[in-house]
C-alpha cells in the first residue's frame, strides 16, 4: 500500500473517532423516557401530569410531559397521531386539569441550507471516492509503465 494512502486512512480514522466521541458526550442532561399512548392517556385522565408540551411533526404530535412527584429533569415523550379523536381527548382532559399546564410549540423548521448540504453530501462522497479510485489506477499504470 502506498504510504500516502495509509496516512490518509490513519487521519480519516482519527477524525471518525473524534466525531464519535463528540456525539457520545454531547447529550442533554434531561432524561427522557418513551411512553405509549395508553400510558399517556391514563396519566392525563388521572391528573398526574404537571406540564405538557405539544409539537406537531409531520402526521403526529410529539408530546413531552412531566409527572407529579418525579424528578424535575425527567421528561416523558409520547407520539400521538394527528387526528380529531386524539386532539379532542387531550383537550377534554386539559380543560378539566387547567389550561396552564399545556404549551403548544410551532413545528421545527429545517433551514434550506441544511437540507441542501445534507442532500449534496452523498454525491460529494461518491465523487471523492471515484476521484481517488481513478487517481490510484492512473498512478498504478504509470508505475507499471
Q: Compute the C-alpha angle 124/23/131, nearest 5°.
A: 20
**pLDDT of 44 over the 80 cut:** yes
* Residue 59: per-residue pLDDT: 84
Neighbours of 49 (CB within 10 A): 21
CA 140/CA 119 separation, integer angstroms: 33
* Residue 99: per-residue pLDDT: 65
Which distant-in-sequence residues (6+ apart) come within 8 Å of 91 by Cβ? Answer: none
Which of 13-17, 69-73, 113-117 has the least mean pLDDT?
A: 69-73
Which distant-in-sequence residues (6+ apart) come within 8 Å of 10 by Cβ? Answer: none
86-115 residue pLDDT tens: 888 888 888 877 767 777 787 777 788 888
113-139 residue pLDDT tens: 888 888 898 899 999 998 888 888 888
Instruction: State pTM to two decimals.
Output: 0.54
Amino acid at each position: 500500500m502506498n504510504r500516502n494512502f495509509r496516512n490518509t486512512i490513519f487521519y480519516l480514522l482519527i477524525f471518525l473517532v473524534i466525531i464519535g466521541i463528540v456525539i457520545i458526550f454531547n447529550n442533554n442532561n434531561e432524561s427522557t423516557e418513551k411512553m405509549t399512548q395508553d400510558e399517556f392517556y391514563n396519566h392525563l385522565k388521572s391528573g398526574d401530569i404537571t406540564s405538557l408540551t405539544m409539537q406537531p411533526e409531520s402526521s403526529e404530535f410529539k408530546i413531552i410531559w412531566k409527572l407529579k412527584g418525579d424528578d424535575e429533569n425527567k421528561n416523558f415523550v409520547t407520539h400521538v397521531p394527528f387526528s380529531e379523536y386524539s386532539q379532542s381527548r387531550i383537550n377534554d382532559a386539559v380543560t378539566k386539569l387547567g389550561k396552564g399546564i399545556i404549551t403548544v410549540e410551532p413545528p421545527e423548521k429545517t433551514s434550506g441550507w441544511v437540507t441542501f448540504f445534507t442532500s449534496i453530501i452523498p454525491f460529494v462522497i461518491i465523487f471523492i471516492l471515484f476521484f481517488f479510485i481513478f487517481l490510484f489506477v492512473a498512478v498504478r499504470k504509470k508505475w507499471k509503465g
